[in-house]
Structure 1
Amino acid sequence: MNRAGNGKSYTRLPPLPAESARAAGLRYVSDAIPGIERRPAAPGFRYVAADGAALRDKATQARIRALAIPPAWTDVWICPREDGHLQATGRDARRRKQYRYHPRWREVRDESKYGRLVAFGRALPRIRRRVARDLARPGLPREKVLAALVRLLETTYIRIGNEEYARDNDSFGLTTLRERQVKVEGAQLRFRFRGKSGVPHEVALTDRRVAQLVRRMQDLPGQELFQYLDEDGATRAIESTDVNTYLKRVAGEEFTSKDFRTWAGTLLCARALRRLPPPQSAAGGRREVAQVIEAVARELRNTRAVCRKCYVHPTVIESYLEGRLQNMLRGRSEHAALISLLEGKGRRRRRERSLVPLLARSIGRASGTQVAAP
């Protein structure tokens, strides 16, 4: 377990990638090793092994087809091993590096990722208490401005932002907002700016303490909104790394600003599905889930596909489709009920996965043969 500065121990966060590969029964690999190369050849592509020979192995060819590597990718590298955690890499049309992972590695990493969400949910009350204390500090010290940013991460679902995106794409997040992109009227703040992928943001909230702080920051020199005064009275800007460092120190865990969006997406989805009656049919349940995901995606300012894949814990959707969500969330605070739901499903999944090799060995002994675990 990790330990915070106060000596308390908290839930262990997800394993390192190499540990995840071992847990999935895979080899941790890198595209720096020689691999299979894809070359254009009418009417499609041909594949060349690391030794320069044409690839003729039928099983490997089938594995490559199953990866469904987009034709538009360039600089394609394909893992020579079937059990490599990373199966392929390439560059898309915008020269961004893309990855194809082994399904078992994704499964382990997804479970770890959402196990992290439980740890974050447990740490959230502690984070809120520290944020409240730091917001009450006098003046414009660094900790006070960082606390305001964390408060806004939780209440607005706005991304943290980085200076490179602001400079190159004219798109903004919390730490890169300019003074002109927020209006303050009494206790109300209204943010208006262009976010990631050019998505327009118009976000309003009421928070008297944060509004007072923002009004004071707007009076400071410079375009950046979130600035503080150092010990010498000089104006300093806050960066996204400062916020993540603050979070780690406050929570005693390796949390980042993105964890707020994942928690928010999962909570919003659970809240909406909880209000619905249990589904009467599989098709009806899927329709309700699609509508809820669309609403949550609007709140997070994401596409439906990204919202469901990256920001909503699958346990919430599974529990609703199984008709168990309402009972599992009944009679407790929303926060505690959600943590209990996620923890319970995670324990069941770990037990099921641990039984796979045991069952495989039992079947092998009964039949007198060796059966490999999947």
Structure 2
Amino acid sequence: MRAAALRQKANDGKRRKIDTVATLEAALDPAVAAKRAQLRYVHDSMPGITRHAARNGFDYRVPDGSLVRDIATLKRIRALAIPPAWTDVWICRDPNGHLQATGRDQRGRKQYRYHPRWREVRDEAKYGKLLIFARVLPLIRARVEEDLKRPGLPRERVLAAVVRLMELTLFRVGNAEYARNNKSFGLTTLRDRHARVDGSHIHLSFRGKSGNRYESNINDRRLARIVKGCRDLPGYELFQYLDDERNQHAVGSEEVNAYLREITGEEITAKDFRTWAGTHLAAAALRGFRQLDTESKRKKAIVRAVEKVARHLGNTPAVCRRCYIHPAILDGYVDGTLLEAMAAKTEAYLKENIAHMSAEEAAVTAFLRLHLAGEIEERRQQ
């Protein structure tokens, strides 16, 4: 009965196989994503519809200054739910434009409204890119391990320390603009005052995104020596390195991303660590619940797993589920394919002993590879 229901659900879902190459291209190229979504790639420098304050709300005008009166266009604009506080609002004239609207929020930050089909393709692409990350993760870990052995505080050693801390804490990499304007910090923007080192123990404490407090305790003698060495350098930035002439340079997120590209030859960024962590931690949490026998129990297990991952990442459960957990993990738990695949692949891992990757990570990678190739979907429909 349950198998038949799952087959029917899969058929009704009209899921499609994902072409691996095209999906990964779309992860890196917005224009490719627009083409795959059968949309027109546009930019807000193109002539568009502008918004103007009026007595009963807002008027909308095309480039020649005339009012927009077309009912379908006005309905589309209302559906975009552009906040009243936005200024410099631009709205795409084409309902099939991949970018539907832009504007500035109250803090002057540029905001975007995209076409739902473009977001769908980009989400697929983002999670397709996750497989690239999983493939090169052992390379990153091996290189980080080697660079941590370097003497002194050269660029490679300090960047390796930041990447290792990123994995251990799951903290965001940091953004100089946010640190300057919002006084919210990430790893690369930490100040000396945010770190305390006592022997092999590191304590990090700072105000992060959305004003939340982030704290972590790490016990690692080698990392502690590096953090202490950085902290002892003049200046208020915590993570700095010394070049061949002993000049100091603060580490920024761009430098971390460049280091990751050097190692992998791929467009890997610091954010990929959090997406990978969210995905494999969710799989691990669900594996701990095993396969429950009713749909309501499975749904409750998913809620608990997402909440657990959200605590690790410092996000709300809603953001965590939407942005950091591959949807195939949750779908696979509901229909049993996730735990089945993980059990088989973990056993294979124990035989192969894949370097620089845990058994669960290897199993999740194998499951996602099958999903991307469409094989999981075929199994659901058998």
Shared fold (TM-score greater than 0.5)? yes
Distance apart, 1:350 and its partner CA? 12
* Structure 2 counterpart of 1:220, from 220, 233, 237: 233
Cα gap change, 1:349 to 1:21, in 2 (>3 Å)? farther
Out of 232, 235, 242, the residue aligned to residue 255 of structure 2 is 242
Equivalent of residue 157 in structure 1, options 147, 167, 170:
170
Counterpart Cα distance in 1 of 2:375 and 2:108: 37
Question: C-alpha separation between the residues in 2 aligned to 1:108 and 1:349?
Answer: 19
Greater RCO, 1 or 2 (C-alpha within 8 Å, sep 6+):
2
2:195 corresponds to 1:182: yes
The 1-side partners of 2:159 and 2:178 are apart by: 20
**Cα distance in 2 for residues equivalent to 1:349 and 1:34:** 44
TM-score (norm 2): 0.83
Shift in alpha-carbon separation, 1:252–1:26, aligned structure 2, 3 A: same
1:250 is displaced (CA, Å) by 0.6
Paired amino acid for 1:105 = W
267, 276, 282: which one pairs with 1:263? Answer: 276
CA deviation map 1:199-236 (0-9, x unaligned): 11110122221112222223222222212222122333
1:140 maps to 2:153 = yes
* Matched residue, 1:362: none
Q: 1:339: which partner in 2? A: 365
Q: Does 1:251 align with 2:279?
A: no
Determine if the alignment matches structure 1 residue 103 to structure 2 residue 116: yes
Quote the sequence identity (%): 54
Specify the SS of the correspondent of 1:38. strand
Decide whether aligned partners of structure 1 residues 292 and 135 sit closer, same or farther in structure 2, where only a CA change above 3 A counts. same
Given the two structures, how large is their TM-score scaled by the length of structure 1?
Answer: 0.85
Structure 1 residues 279, 76: closer, same or farther in 2, change over 3 A?
farther
For residue 48 of structure 2, what is the aligned residue in structure 1?
35
Deviation digits for residues 9-61 of structure 1 (CA, Å, limit 9, x no counterpart) = xx955241111111111110111122223333444433333333332323323
Contact 2:337/2:376, CA 8 A, preserved across alignment: no
Structure 1 residue 239, shift from structure 2 partner = 1.9
Distance 1:135 1:278 in 2: 41
The 5-angstrom pairing of residues 1-374 of structure 1 reads: 14-331=27-344, 332=346, 333-348=359-374
Partner SS, residue 52 of structure 2? strand
Where 2:217 maps in the other structure, the secondary structure is strand
Distance 1:166 1:38, change over 3 A: closer
Tell me, in whole angstroms, the C-alpha distance in 1 between the residues paired with 2:75 and 2:194: 52
Provide closer, same or farther for how the CA distance between residues 66 and 285 of structure 1 changes in structure 2, counting only shifts above 3 A: farther
Question: Displacement of 1:314 after TM fit?
Answer: 1.2
Stretch moving more, 45-54 or 207-216: 45-54
Amino acid at match of 1:36: I
Aligned to 1:205, the other structure's residue is in SS state strand
Task: Map Cα deviations across residues 336-364 of structure 1 (whole Å, 9 max, x no partner).
Answer: 11112222222229999xxxxxxxxxxxx
For residues 321 and 69 of structure 1, do their structure 2 counterparts lie closer, same or farther at Cα, with a shift above 3 Å needed?
Answer: farther
Alpha carbons 2:191, 2:238 under 8 Å: kept: yes
Moved more, 281-290 or 304-313: 281-290
Shift of 1:279: 4.3
SS in 1 for 2:289: coil
Q: Compute the displacement of 1:327 (Å).
A: 0.9
Contact 1:244 1:255 in 2 (8 A): yes
Q: In structure 2, what residue type is equivalent to 1:51?
A: D
Structure 2 gap ranges (5+): 1-22, 347-358
2: CA distance between counterparts of 1:279 and 1:34? Answer: 55
Q: Deviations over 1:281-323 (max 9, x none)?
A: 4444333322222221121112222222221111111212223
Deviations 1:111-156 (A, max 9, x none): 1111111100110000000011111112221111111111111111
* Partner SS, residue 88 of structure 1: strand
Q: Cα RMSD between the aligned structures?
A: 2.3
4+ aligned runs moved over 4 Å, structure 1? 349-352
- Give the partner amino acid of 1:318: D
Instruction: Pick closer, same or farther for the CA change 1:125–1:108 going to 2, 3 Å.
Output: same
